[in-house]
A and B are shown apart, each in its own frame.
Chain A
Amino acid sequence: MNHLIKYIVLLFAFVTIISCSKELNVEPTLSISDNVALTSEENIKKILIGAYHSQALEGNHGGYLQIFSDLIGSDNQVSWNGTFYEPREALNKSMLPNNGIIGLMWNSLYESVNQTNLVLDHLSVIKDENEKTRVEGEAKFLRALTYFELLRLFGNDVKAVPLRTTSVKDFSGDLSIKRSTTDEVITLIINDLQKAAGILPKENGFYADKYAALALLARVQLYLGNYKAAGGAAHDVIANSGRALAPNYAAAFNHDVNGSEDIFAVQITSQSGQNVLITFYASEENGGRGGDISINQDYLNIFDDPNDVRSKFYYQNAKGDFLTNKYVSQFGDIPLIRLAEMILIRAECNQRLNTALGASPIDDINSIRIRSSAAVLTTLTLGDIIKERQRELAFEGFAIYDIKRTKSSVASLPFDSPKLVMPIPQSEMNTNKLMEQNDGY
């Protein structure tokens, strides 16, 4: 028995010796934690790059935003040949709240909002004043871009989307939030863009610069029907940004670095970004699924000149479907704001206001047409300008918004039909107690 006690004592001695609980502190090597991420200048700037990264994801400007806008805005201009039922719901104007891609878009856009808010809330960490201003400008541009998409997709004249203007870092409480009014969201977008345009540098590589902010402001003001502001901002970009139309129409697309016409483009490489425009518009040889979205005769019928390059800007896949040539480079960048759009905005605003800021509307329109070898116009109506937008900007995510702002209709649905507004995703309805569903869902 004495021996037993001896050994038991030894056991305890032994056990206490090797029980250094330091062994239980293991830090991840792949990631960093809050206190590291949000306290250094370097890291805050990198979170901003993270916000650009999220713009290039599929649920964001990686492509679903553009694709869904065009599918909802299409009557019989395009066909959906793919097996995914979510885009087909959009084309059929029969979207459901459990549409997975709509949920993905919502979540992805708000992730982007939080990334930009994280940057804006920690600007004080950045000591260099020039750098701080630049970072603030870019973050505000990205936040405005994101809210504008949320507003257009999920909101109507009155009800917009939840407005978060500060970052969420503690996720342990109740994060329910109600929808803000459309006015509140528009105010934030315009304030952010005006601020960004005021403080961003005139040149900023492939990141957002002053003219990206002005160009987006022009797009927003046009959507709101503030033609004077829209035309003014567009003119500023045309006159001062140093951008020029690409020498030919094809040159405006499928490039790896920004072209002369790009005011802001989402950067895709073989290593980062998700380009689902390629996935759904391109043939298998071009990295797509073979042509899930193809062009129909109804679209080709809007061209008035058979020599118009844009009327032949397609190729055929094995099935004989017409596929757009806008997306044929698998890892090409995604043009988000092109100079051509600014020219179209300036022309439309001048036409509507009967002014000639910068150029007469007909000269602006003809500059676009000449580039594509289309016959010049001698007379011009507002309808001509809207058609010109369709010829020039098709498949770039404008269809439904032009229908809504011009109060026209699609597939016998009036512009204000609730079916043309996306449902709030079921996942958000399930988790956000203050959320209200859109009409008709």
Chain B
Amino acid sequence: MKQLFLFLLLMLGSISYSLAQKSIKGIVTDPNGQAIIGVNIIADGAPKIGAITDIDGKFNLQLPNKVQSLTFNFLGYETKTINLSDGVDDIKIILEESTKLIDEVMVIGYGSTSKRNLTDNVAKLTSENISNIAVSNFQNTMSGKAAGVRINQTNGKVEGGINVRIRGTSSLSQATEPLYVLDGMPLINQNESSNGAVMNPLLSLSSSEIESIDILKDASSAAIYGARGANGVVLITTKKGKVGKTNVSLNISSGISSPTNVIKVLNAAQYKELFTEAAINSLGEDAGKAEAEGFFDFVSNGTDWRNGAVDTDWGKVAFKDGSQSDMDLSISGGDAKTQYFFGGTLNKTKGIILGNDLQRLSARMNLKHQLSFKISAGMNLGISKTIIDRVANDNEFVTPSSSIEQSPLSPALNEDGTPNPNTLYPNFLLEDRYADFTTNLHRITGKVFAEYNIIQNLKFNSDLGYDLSNQTENQYRGRLTPFMATNGFAYNSNAKSENYIWSNYFTYNKEINKTSLLTVVAGQEFSNSDRIFNSVSGVQFPSDDFKSISSAAEITQGKGSNERYNFLSYFARASFMLQDKYFVKASIRRDGSSRFGANQRYGVFPAMSVGWLVSEESFLKDFNTISLLKVRASYGQLGNSEIGNFASKSLYNGVSYNRGSGIRLTQPGNNDLTWEKSKQLDLGIEFGLFKDRISSELDFYSKRTDGLLFNVPLPGSSGQLGINKNIGEVENKGIELVLNSKNITSKNFEWTTNLNISNNTNKIISLPNNNADIIFFTALYRVGHAAPTFYLPEYAGVDPNNGDALYYTDGKGSETTANYSEVKPVLAGNTQPTWIGGLTNEVSYKGLALSFTFVGEWGASIYNAFGKFTSSNGDFFGNQTVNQLNRWQKVGDITEVPQARLYGGNGNAISTRYLQKADFIRLRNVMLSYDIPSSILGKVKIRNARIYLSGVNLLTFTEYDGFDPESRADANSLGSNYGIDYESAPQAKTTSIGLNINF
């Protein structure tokens, strides 16, 4: 630590520069007259001479007489060359903001560049693309907007986990989420939910704080993040103050939401009919009738079911209309020396599921100050608090969405308004009324940073980032909740994760002639992550008025753990542009991590890329149709180190038996365990036609990941269930197409279309134990097939002669049988889509604008694991989906639904009967806005104002019969990665109205 201070002091030494013959000074501003700091000025013909503008935008140069012109160059602005005239020694230069697509600023790791210079595949989203969309997390706002990036929310719970897959799934068992980096700081993204349902840890971030999101997709861009880059990197840049007048921005919106779809189940009359029939079929006329009626007597809880006294629509009880309101206020601005942004946001979301709400408060301040011509420093700080009222995970009886399985004969409430406890399955309303589960998420992300311009072309950055995520969960279950025999139960937990990262790096920029540029970045980084977890459970409360754990007469469980992991890394990157048209870039990173086995502690991750801006060549320059043509190629190696902190070690844990302590072997060790390695090739072509009226990017990629970390299943007879090994290889190959078209660009009317579509083919190349199949639940990992693929017995429909469910003994076309034990499972479909796409249209006429985004996914299947209960032709008394009415009833009936047989197990075993295509097209968001004309606003001192109507998930086209083709089971115990739906709540459909004002 001391050494660094010494070093920084040394750095403060000043630098002098050479003398020349003529003197010229001036000022550089933007079109509004605001000074631009840091503009590069190059004396043409004298490559060693140049300057950068100071904090007032001024410069002063001594030039040899032979210099005839100066070139002004600044990222994000059009480059300008000024001819010097004799006798003029004070000049004023105005730089225009760059509008060309190719000059767009792209944030890359440890720096930024222009799209022109980029030889990587990076997708950029700006605040315009993601703002004012009525969702409670920022990830959903990216959906459908970047090629090859698939974004789904696990289900419709407000805090539901988010799955982001960049170019397919390149890990089979470990983390597949990208690395999120906020202003240079890798974010903690660990699910800390303790109720068994995955939660989105990045909920704490409000999309209104975000200026831009850059998604690094290929190896060349992500390799600078080394052992953490294999799943792609999402770089988030927060809003900063801009030089100029103070801007006060206020945004208020409010909306209502409802489920996109609720499964249709039988009403009371249909229920009675089906189950009476089912009971008679199984037990005979008299016994069957008695069984059914006995059950109806119980489940109707004393109401007159024979005369239809009760017909409860449980879907309407479990789901409700939700609402969403957002407010954010920010103030930003600055002068040449200091720029600031500060703001706060408030989000209140009432979920579509009874008992599921969220409230988030967040604030951010970003400050940057120019201490001197050479040194600038600043600090970013974001704080937030999120409170979530939660419901049970999908595998619990008391999760609201599974209540559609309750009998419609059961009243939801008693006459006195209390929940009816005598239902077939525990009534979730008891849990809703007499229990609560609250998650409090506190987050602080911040960094202090300094930049020192050592000499004109060399700068040094030191960033110290800090991330704190603190999640507390408090649960109390009262005396009247289902399965309660302990006079109350309370659970409190606190998970605190803390991460600091210190990055130091040099950036060297050298222009050679005025058309060639060398940029070198080299640095070092150390990061430390700590996680402390404590929890305690207690039972026996004096009464339900006492809910705090201190009142528990008996503490039944306490947990505490402290985990740590460190990374020590060095990195370097050099990029070179020759004559404005040839580009080459190379980068390397060396990562060491405490997570890896003792024999495998360090890894090196190199990458290389080249690009050629063909349209700058003389032979194309005069060819007006083609405004841009660029080809690029990259290759590199990346790692996935999200393998758990102690996955390599042989572990024995403490256990207890009758209040005595014991030790249990819990994990077999493996000293050779290391990160998963990905090698990725990307070939891309970018072109623009008719002055970029039409522009397009086409990429092909191939990503091979080997050393896949597997918890390789062991024979249970060994005493353990699995061992972590780096075995196996998977390949993701695909193409991505982006097409942007400015269909109409007249003065008042504009229409643009952006389309992205991508294909990904996932294939397993090798697996542990000599490529032995690995099977989890209904998912199969087999060489040559996508990971994982559904592996199910093939359902063959119904025997018309007797109503028996039939299965193919060995896949379609083979013999059929009613005896399930003779049936072999077969490969039955993909768990991941092969094609994904997004289509955005923006139409504007004067102040009126309409934009809408469709997203689509094709090629995946979904397994409705709940079907064996709710679509089982009356196997048990749980309510059935309406399509079960098409059951076989008499000889000759041709149907897919077997004869109803109570307790009969007729067709509800695991099979493709419950597998369906998950293809969908969804109107992800739509926005209609109107800018109030300035003629009206001028009088009330408002700079601009906009009112808007915004919609999310308003339309869905799918053939899937479940709640939602995007929803998957959120319970870890159900295998959420295997394409399983388990009455998983549908996504919310939201319509909101908002107002945005800038003063």
Residues of B within 8 A of A431 (CB): 713-716, 769, 772
Q: Does A127 make an interface contact (CB < 8 A)?
A: no
A19 CB to nearest chain B CB (Å): 6
Is B563 a contact partner of A31 (Cβ separation < 8 A)?
Answer: no
Is B658 a contact partner of A269 (Cβ separation < 8 A)?
Answer: yes
Is B3 a contact partner of A46 (Cβ separation < 8 A)?
Answer: no
- Closest-by-CB residue of B relative to A54 is B664
Residues of B within 8 A of A290 (CB): 426, 483
| Max count, chain B CB within 10 A of own CB: residue among A15, A92, A167 | A15
Is B652 a contact partner of A37 (Cβ separation < 8 A)?
Answer: yes
Is B658 a contact partner of A21 (Cβ separation < 8 A)?
Answer: no
Q: 1/0 per position for B269-308, CB-CB distance to A under 8 A?
A: 0000000000000000000000000000010000000000
Is A430 a contact partner of B485 (Cβ separation < 8 A)?
Answer: no
Distance in angstroms between the alpha carbons of A418 and B460 in the assembled complex? 77
Q: Does A224 make an interface contact (CB < 8 A)?
A: no
Query: Could you tell me which residues of chain B, from 704 to 727, have a CB within 8 Å of some CB in chain A?
Result: 713-721, 723, 725
Is B504 a contact partner of A26 (Cβ separation < 8 A)?
Answer: no
Is B539 a contact partner of A206 (Cβ separation < 8 A)?
Answer: no
Question: Which of A105-113, A236-244, A377-385, A395-403 forms part of the interface with chain B?
Answer: A105-113
User: Assuming A7-B454, A31-B646, A428-B716, is B662 touching A48 (CB within 8 A)?
Assistant: yes
Distance in angstroms between the alpha carbons of A432 and B714 in the assembled complex? 8
Distance in angstroms between the alpha carbons of A24 and B455 in the assembled complex? 35
B712 CB to nearest chain A CB (Å): 9
Is A24 a contact partner of B714 (Cβ separation < 8 A)?
Answer: no
Residues of A within 8 A of B570 (CB): 15
Q: Does B773 make an interface contact (CB < 8 A)?
A: yes
Q: 1/0 per position for A370-389, CB-CB distance to B under 8 A?
A: 00000000000000000000
A and B contact pairs by CB, cutoff 8 A, 5 listed: A11-B522, A17-B3, A37-B652, A113-B719, A435-B717
Q: 1/0 per position for B370-407, CB-CB distance to A under 8 A?
A: 00000000000000000000000000000000000000
Is A49 a contact partner of B663 (Cβ separation < 8 A)?
Answer: yes
Residues of A within 8 A of B772 (CB): 430-431
B670 CB to nearest chain A CB (Å): 7
Distance in angstroms between the alpha carbons of A351 and B458 in the assembled complex? 100
Is B646 a contact partner of A50 (Cβ separation < 8 A)?
Answer: no
Question: Which of B553-561, B614-622, B834-842, B962-970 forms part of the interface with chain A?
Answer: B553-561
- Closest-by-CB residue of A relative to B485 is A287
Is B663 a contact partner of A83 (Cβ separation < 8 A)?
Answer: no
User: Assuming A52-B657, A271-B656, is B821 touching A83 (CB within 8 A)?
Assistant: no
Residues of A within 8 A of B3 (CB): 14, 17-18
Question: Which of A129-137, A171-179, A194-202, A300-308 forms part of the interface with chain B?
Answer: A171-179
Is B485 a contact partner of A271 (Cβ separation < 8 A)?
Answer: no
Is B723 a contact partner of A14 (Cβ separation < 8 A)?
Answer: no
B826 CB to nearest chain A CB (Å): 15
A101 CB to nearest chain B CB (Å): 13
Size bin of chain A's contact surface: 35 or more
Q: Does A297 make an interface contact (CB < 8 A)?
A: no
Query: Could you tell me which residues of chain B, from 628 to 687, have a CB within 8 Å of some CB in chain A?
Result: 645-646, 649-653, 655-670
Residues of B within 8 A of A30 (CB): 561-563, 653
Residues of A within 8 A of B660 (CB): 49
Is B508 a contact partner of A14 (Cβ separation < 8 A)?
Answer: no
Q: Does B852 make an interface contact (CB < 8 A)?
A: no
Q: Does B565 make an interface contact (CB < 8 A)?
A: yes
Residues of B within 8 A of A7 (CB): 11, 454, 458, 460, 506
User: Assuming A49-B663, A114-B719, is B568 touching A284 (CB within 8 A)?
Assistant: no
Q: Does B189 make an interface contact (CB < 8 A)?
A: no
Is B568 a contact partner of A96 (Cβ separation < 8 A)?
Answer: no
A30 CB to nearest chain B CB (Å): 5
Is A14 a contact partner of B7 (Cβ separation < 8 A)?
Answer: yes
Is A171 a contact partner of B821 (Cβ separation < 8 A)?
Answer: no
Is A26 a contact partner of B715 (Cβ separation < 8 A)?
Answer: no
- Closest-by-CB residue of A relative to B775 is A430
B225 CB to nearest chain A CB (Å): 18
Distance in angstroms between the alpha carbons of A37 and B659 in the assembled complex? 20
Q: 1/0 per position for A20-37, CB-CB distance to B under 8 A?
A: 010111101111111011
Is B713 a contact partner of A83 (Cβ separation < 8 A)?
Answer: no
User: Assuming A23-B568, A26-B564, A172-B670, is B556 touching A96 (CB within 8 A)?
Assistant: no
Distance in angstroms between the alpha carbons of A53 and B426 in the assembled complex? 31
Q: 1/0 per position for A88-131, CB-CB distance to B under 8 A?
A: 10001010101000010011001101110110000000000000
Q: Does A425 make an interface contact (CB < 8 A)?
A: yes
User: Assuming A24-B566, A287-B485, is B664 touching A53 (CB within 8 A)?
Assistant: yes
Is B594 a contact partner of A11 (Cβ separation < 8 A)?
Answer: no
Beyond A51-B662, A430-B713, 8 additional pairs, beta carbon < 8 A: A18-B524, A26-B564, A30-B561, A85-B905, A110-B717, A113-B719, A114-B720, A164-B717
Q: Does A417 make an interface contact (CB < 8 A)?
A: no
- Closest-by-CB residue of B relative to A177 is B717
Is A98 a contact partner of B910 (Cβ separation < 8 A)?
Answer: yes
Query: Could you tell me which residues of chain B, from 505 to 538, have a CB within 8 Å of some CB in chain A?
Result: 506, 508, 522, 524, 526, 528
- Closest-by-CB residue of B relative to A164 is B717
B485 CB to nearest chain A CB (Å): 4
Residue A24 contacts which of B11, B458, B485, B568 (CB distance < 8 angstroms)? B568
Q: Does B601 make an interface contact (CB < 8 A)?
A: yes
Sort A-B residue pairs by CB-CB distance and give the 7 closest, nearest first. Answer: A114-B719, A49-B662, A287-B485, A267-B658, A171-B668, A107-B716, A432-B715
- Closest-by-CB residue of A relative to B776 is A427
